[in-house]
């Protein structure tokens, strides 16, 4: 992707247990359609979507896990592809809900100050949903960053990704302000700040 300063580009990575609907969400968001026979993705898959949102131009590169999530072999390299993460569970599968904590931990271990939101997918399966109090128990800490979605019925996918874009924009503005503050500071501050930012491994 060629860098065009008037276009904001973000990379978003889908994470979560197998069968929660990541590939269906991917197809819904990118192609606005669902393929009933999605199956496992082979190889890391990504697609780019360009659009205007709140009068700004965006290019979103969305990554879908390649079925490795089944074997928990997602590599650090995969985590590092993302500016932000969609952590998905299945609203009818409690194990996938419990797993979000591991996904969050893995991504936080790999990426400093990472941005993510949580999607509880398959909200259309109303007779099979996990009881609300159990869901709350796991997501209450993230309640402003939690969306119930249905990739099949096209519910809330765009809204959730818009929220993620808002969070990334806010983070960019903050980072920009911080770097201005450093530039305006003295040399001592500059060095101090660089050391902090470069803290490694």
Choices 22-30, 51-59, 166-174, 186-194; region in contact with ligand GDP by CB under 6 A: 22-30
Whose Cβ is closer to ligand GDP: residue 99's or residue 150's? 150
Which of 17, 47, 12 has its CA nearest to residue 33? 47
User: How many Å apart are CA 171 and CA 166, to the nearest integer?
Assistant: 9
Query: Do the beta carbons of residue 38 and residue 25 sit within 8 Å?
Result: no
Residues listed for the chain? 201
Choices 4-12, 18-26, 46-54, 179-187; region in contact with ligand GDP by CB under 6 A: 18-26
Q: Does 124 bind ligand GDP (CB under 6 A)?
A: yes
Whose Cβ is closer to ligand GDP: residue 37's or residue 198's? 37
Cβ contacts of 8 within 8 Å, gap of 6 or more: 56, 57, 58, 59, 169, 172
Helix, strand, or coil here: 113?
A: coil
User: How many Å apart are CA 99 and CA 18, to the nearest integer?
Assistant: 11
Q: Does 19 bind ligand GDP (CB under 6 A)?
A: yes
User: How many Å apart are CA 47 and CA 154, to the nearest integer?
Assistant: 19
Choices 12-20, 79-87, 165-173, 189-197; region in contact with ligand GDP by CB under 6 A: 12-20
Q: Does 122 bind ligand GDP (CB under 6 A)?
A: yes
Residues 7-36 that bind Mg ion (CB under 5 A): 22-23
Q: What is the nearest approach in angstroms of Mg ion to the Cβ of residue 61?
A: 17
Q: Which residues bind to ligand GDP, rule: CB under 6 A?
A: 18-24, 36, 38, 121-122, 124-125, 150-152
Q: Which residues bind to Mg ion, rule: CB under 5 A?
A: 22-23, 41
């Amino acid at each position: 992707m060629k860098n065009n300063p008037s276009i904001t580009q973000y990379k978003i990575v889908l994470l979560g247990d197998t069968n929660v609907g990541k590939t269906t969400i991917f197809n819904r968001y990118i192609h606005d359609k669902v393929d009933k026979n999605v199956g496992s993705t082979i190889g890391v898959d990504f697609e780019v979507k360009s659009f205007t949102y709140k009068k700004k131009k965006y290019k979103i590169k969305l990554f879908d896990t390649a079925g490795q999530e089944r074997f928990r072999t997602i590599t650090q390299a995969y985590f590092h592809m993302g500016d932000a993460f969609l952590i998905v569970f299945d609203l009818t599968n409690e194990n996938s809900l419990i797993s979000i904590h591991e996904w969050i931990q893995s991504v936080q271990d790999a990426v400093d100050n990472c941005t993510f939101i949580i999607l509880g997918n398959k909200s259309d399966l109303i007779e099979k949903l996990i009881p609300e109090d159990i869901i709350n128990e796991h997501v209450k800490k993230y309640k402003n960053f939690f969306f119930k979605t249905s990739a099949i019925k096209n519910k809330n996918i765009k809204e959730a990704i818009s929220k993620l874009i808002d969070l990334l924009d806010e983070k960019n503005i903050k980072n920009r302000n911080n770097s201005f503050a450093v530039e305006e500071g003295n040399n001592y501050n500059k060095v101090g700040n660089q050391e902090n930012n470069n803290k490694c491994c």
